[in-house]
Amino acid sequence: MFRNELCPVDFYTVEFPSGHVENFIDMKTSARIRAGASTIEFSPPEKCAVFERAYLTRQRLSDNGISMMLGSGSCDDVYTRSFYGMYKLPNFVRIACILKVAIPDHPLEIRPVTSLERVALCNVLHTLKAENKLDKIHRIKSRLKRFEAKEESNLFPFVFPIYPTRDKDEKVLDYRIFAVGVGWDQIKNKWRDKTVFETISTAKNSNFAITVTYDIDEDGIISSNLILEDRIKESEARQKEILGEI
């Protein structure tokens, strides 16, 4: 169902640690939630209310979805108002894409991007722990205290989870689906062109910065794209310097 006041919101799937990107989301595969010692399989996304009522650009019963139709918060469309109301979104945010981040058999968290120095220090700490160098571990921990790492909630309303839902102490395994939006630039009188956040996981080499770009051309055609940055690789030179310093 296409409406003049609505625009397509792209779907993406990113698989880590490979960084492989697909331009769709599989709606039939379930994620799992770890609650204490138990692991529970969640209902698949196709049964999630936000997708059940969406204007999808592929049949709802197909395996894959490639986009849905959504306007901004001030839109008269019933589904848009429902979506913004469900997640308590302000009108100055426009959804740029729906993003599935997959790390099979591992939990996934997201947060605002931290400094590259902190990434380097964390990886040096892992190296020292593996080598059981206790005296150097203490020095690195002291340096790490200078660098704050914010939480997932600090990304709202520009990045927020929509599948699956979980309680505070639960971990989501396999994958999570997020809505990623951009804000309104009052000075330039246009939508901002990107939003950036960081992924972390217990899986090896899965610390990435994800940039979602958003563009509206002269003809009013909207497009988005993903840019992935491997933060561990980016910090390798600094890691070597730190190991030499201590």
d(CA 70, CA 83): 9
pLDDT recorded at residue 63: 67
| 243 in any annotated domain | no
Measured distance between the N- and C-terminal CA atoms of the chain, rounded to whole angstroms? 62
| 240 in any annotated domain | no
> What are the pLDDT digits (tens) for 195-230?
999 999 988 778 999 999 999 888 778 899 999 999
User: Which domain does 68 fall in, by range?
Assistant: 7-115+149-232
Alpha helices in the chain (DSSP H): 49-52, 78-86, 116-131, 134-144, 231-234, 236-245
| 126 in any annotated domain | no
d(CA 52, CA 60): 8
| 143 in any annotated domain | no
Per the structure, the count of domains in the chain is: 1
pLDDT recorded at residue 2: 42
Q: Which whole-number Å values give the CA distances from 171 to 106, 176, 201, in the listed order?
A: 9, 10, 11
> What are the pLDDT digits (tens) for 77-134?
999 999 999 999 999 999 999 999 999 999 999 999 999 999 999 999 999 998 989 8
| 208 in any annotated domain | yes
| 134 in any annotated domain | no
Mean pLDDT of the chain: 91
Q: Give SS3 for 207.
A: coil
| 222 in any annotated domain | yes
> What are the pLDDT digits (tens) for 12-59?
999 998 999 999 999 889 999 998 889 999 999 989 989 988 888 865
pTM of the model: 0.91
| 37 in any annotated domain | yes
CB 149 within 8 A of CB 165: no
